[in-house]
Amino acid sequence: MPANIRKSWPIIMPLVCFSLFILVVQFSAGQTPKTGKLTIKITGIRNSEGNIRVVLRTGESTIVNTQVVEIDRKTLTSKAVFDNLSEGTYGVTVIHDENKDGKLDFNDVGVPTEGYGHSNNPEKRPGPPSFDETKFTFTASGLTSNITLIYW
């Protein structure tokens, strides 16, 4: 090692180490998303047949997570919990899958024969609500959302 570098080494090395430390801290902080717990409580279930499907979305057709949860036969309610959920904008769709076929069933004229619901509880009407009507902002502090099912 040349003499001029050897003399500067005690000054340069701490600066290099400190700079690397700062970069590591900044990189780590930027990579750790804040997460929390989202609880979805479902009410208005007409019977204890089948199960409840809860779909978590980040867009009109973007599914992030799906859970199938049981119905409490005494209270006719259900609950889904999404742990370690990153902060962001989400929407929830719920289906009472009475026959456990994995989808919302319709009659011959296109009316749902099973219960359904969405976050923000939009009013009953023909056709599904838009994602904008059902979206909400989730933060790491957590959230409990109540969804009441609709039957035709």
Q: Give the per-residue pLDDT at 11.
A: 57
- pLDDT of 21 above 80: no
More confident residue, 3 or 139: 139
Which has more confidence, 25 or 31?
31
Residues 115-152 as b/e (b if ≥16 CB within 10 A, e otherwise) read bbbbbebeeeeeeebebeebbeebeeeebebebebbee
Please give the Cα distance from 90 to 116 (Å, whole number): 17
pLDDT tens-digit readout, 78-133: 999 999 999 999 999 999 999 999 999 999 999 999 999 999 999 999 999 999 99
Question: How far is the CA of 38 from the CAs of 4, 16, 85, 88, 139, in angstroms?
Answer: 60, 43, 7, 12, 9
Task: Report pTM.
Answer: 0.79
Q: How far apart are CA 102 and CA 58, in angstroms?
A: 21
**Comparing 7-11, 49-53, 65-69, 80-84, which segment has the lowest mean pLDDT?**
7-11
Pick left, alpha or beta for residue 82 (phi over 0 → left; psi -120 to 50 → alpha; otherwise beta).
beta
Q: How confident is the model at residue 29 (pLDDT cuts 50, 70, 90)?
A: low
Confidence of residue 68 (pLDDT cuts 50, 70, 90): very high
**Across 46-62, average pLDDT:** 97
